[in-house]
Amino acid sequence: MSNHLKYEKKNIWNNVDQTEHEKIMNFAENYKRFLNNAKTERETVNTTVSMLSDAGFKDLNKIENQLKAGDKVFAVIQNKSLVAMTIGEENLTEGFNLVGAHVDSPRIDLKPHPVAEIEQFSLLKTHYYGGIKKYHWLAVPLALHGVVMRSDGFLIQVVIGEDPSDPVFTIADLLPHLAKDQMDKKMSKVFTGEDLRPLLSSIPSNEQNEEKVKTYVLELLYEKYGIIEEDLVSAELELVPAWMARDVGLDRSMIGAYGQDDRICAYTGLKAIMDIENPLKTSVLLLADKEEIGSVGNTGMDSDLLENVMSELIYLYSGNDSNLALRRALANSSALSADVNAALNPNFSDVVEADNAARLGNGICITKYTGSGGKKGANDSHAEFLGFIRNIYNSNNVIWQSGELGKVDQGGGGTIAYMLAEYGMNVIDCGISLLGMHSPMEVSSKADIYMAYKGYYSFLNHKY
């Protein structure tokens, strides 16, 4: 068979010249810095706002003049979600091009009453967030990030464990010498959610009460932050791995870091929209919260956040505040649900079907459908739109691959694609493949990251 008739995945490293190779490596260095500054959804939005502002984007809520083609604006929702837009030449009712990612990641949250004393230790009571393997979070250094709203209305920013001089937290595992009964249990039964309790302190207070160790740690919190125990009820505190993004492999071709699902797509989409100038159709970047727990709440994709922002945009652009104009804009739009896929892992290759599995270093991954079993919960993109995306990438030298999330009956997963499709948009899942997804150290290919940037940029610059 002639080679041009066959579909074959391309290894990016064998298909770029030295100039593009250097661009790949340089792009990855900036991405690692982003990850180190953005370990929570709040931090990701704050970092994104800073980058957008430096690139000339203006806060939509502070716009007083009528918007015009070429203007760059953003809107922040509850400090956890964000929509950024570059106004195009076409009327907004003709639709827009949207790249949508999420900025929350699996982690361990503190409970509203988190401080406990058990056997002369102070421990933190927690509730895990998103899909995790609980054993991943034992015997690793953890950092505490988040905010605490004090009774006086002052919001305290907390980051403990990232500076080399900071203490860290850890969940102590059971030594193998005493783990006979533990080792006989199913992996899913070895640790329960209530067992994920990090060590907080061990020095007792001089106060005469029954919980001396807890009392002493509360004294420390009040001394450093002015926080009393009741203030922890109005807190959002998250435990994340206390390590920086690092190169992986002797060839430095990969990146290992926490939170790449889905900040890897958030960053590449962000860089793409920052580089867009005077597009034909309006370019939109959507960074949503709560995807890992069902896209719920007023910062998740299941809310009206996109409709609210686009209504404001249409009004500031044309003075039109009708619902019909909004509905036409949404229905005429095209979107990439920019979320990660699972790369073929050489240690666990039996859970994927090799011909249809994404591979690290083979480019941005187009995923026609997600879901589980019989495509349950999938958007399942139309053939015409998938063909359009292929043509964009082929004509812009974007190396891409197609992939599905594991064997048919192995499991599965979902993204925000089906929620965007509810507006009438054409949507397809399109992101970067990872090894170790949802673990504290996810692994990506630097080459895939750069191709995702090129892919999102070329999509935002085209008309469907």
From start to end of 38-190, where are the E strands?
A: 58-59, 72-77, 81-86, 96-102, 107-118, 121-129, 142-149, 155-160
Tell me the three state secondary structure of residue 215. Answer: helix
CATH of domain 107-241: 2.30.250.10
Instruction: Convert the pLDDT of each residue in 371-385 to its tens digit.
Output: 888 888 888 999 999
What is the rounded average pLDDT of the residues 265-290? 97
- Residues 239-258, mean pLDDT to the nearest whole number: 98
**CB under 8 Å, gap of 24 or more: what pairs does 65-72 form?**
66/316, 66/317, 66/319, 67/313, 67/316, 67/317, 68/317, 69/278, 70/277, 70/278
Report pLDDT for 464: 59
**DSSP three-state, residue 271:** helix
* pLDDT band of 78, cuts 50, 70, 90: very high
Q: How far apart are CA 432 and CA 260, in angstroms?
A: 10
pLDDT of residue 360: 97
Taking the C-alpha atoms of residue 141 and residue 74, their distance in angstroms, rounded to an integer, is 36
Average pLDDT (255-268) is: 97
Say if strands 254-257 and 199-201 run parallel, antiparallel, or are unpaired. unpaired
Structural tokens at position 450:
């750069």
Question: 162-221, pLDDT tens digit by residue?
Answer: 999 999 999 999 999 988 998 999 888 888 999 999 999 999 998 888 899 999 999 999
At residue 3 the predicted structure's pLDDT band, cuts being 50, 70 and 90, is low
Residues forming a β-bridge with 300: 289
Count of alpha carbons within 13 angstroms of residue 226, beta-carbon side: 10
- Given a cut of 80, whether residue 1 has pLDDT beyond it is no
CATH code for the structural domain at 3-105+258-460: 3.40.630.10
Other CB atoms within 10 A of residue 188 CB: 10
Q: Is 3-105+258-460's fold the same as 107-241's?
A: no
Average predicted confidence (pLDDT) for the chain: 94
pTM: 0.95
Query: What percentage of the chain has pLDDT greater than the value 70?
Result: 99
**Category of 250 on φ-ψ map: left (φ > 0), alpha (ψ -120 to 50) or beta:** alpha
Q: Is-contact 198 171, C-beta < 8 A?
A: yes
Q: Rounded CA gap, 144 and 170, in Å?
A: 11
Q: 184 Cβ partners below 8 Å, 6+ apart? A: none
The percent of residues above 90 in pLDDT, for the chain, comes to: 85
Give the residue extent of every domain in the chain: 3-105+258-460, 107-241
- 87-128: pLDDT as tens digits: 999 999 999 999 999 999 999 999 999 999 999 999 999 999
Q: Distance between CA atoms of 378 and 417, rounded to whole angstroms?
A: 8
Tell me: pLDDT of 454 over 70.
yes
Query: For residue 82, what pLDDT is reported?
Result: 98
The pLDDT, as a whole number, for residue 187 is 85
Q: What is the mean pLDDT of residues 307-336?
A: 94
Q: Give me the pLDDT at residue 382, please.
A: 94
> Which has the closest alpha carbon to 133: 113, 157, 106?
106
3-state secondary structure of 87: coil
pLDDT tens-place string over residues 377-430 = 888 999 999 999 999 999 999 999 999 988 888 878 889 999 999 999 999 999
The CA distance from 239 to 274, in Å, is 31
Helices (H), 197-252: 212-225
* Mean pLDDT score, 137-142: 96
Nearest to 234 by CA among 151, 295, 335, 310: 151
Between the CA atoms of 208, 211, 213 and 214, what dihedral angle is there, to the nearest 10 degrees?
-120
User: Given this model, what pLDDT does residue 176 score?
Assistant: 92
pLDDT (average), residues 144-154: 96
Quickly state the pLDDT bin for 2 (edges 50, 70, 90).
low
Residues 32-75: pLDDT tens digits?
Answer: 999 999 999 999 999 999 999 999 999 999 998 899 999 999 99
What is the Cα–Cα distance from 367 to 362, expressed in whole angstroms? 14
Question: Would you state the pLDDT for residue 372?
Answer: 83
DSSP states of 16-58: S-HHHHHHHHHHHHHHHHHHHH-SSHHHHHHHHHHHHHHTT-E
Predicted local confidence at residue 378, as pLDDT: 85
What does the CA dihedral 246, 250, 254, 258 come to, rounded to 10 degrees? -30
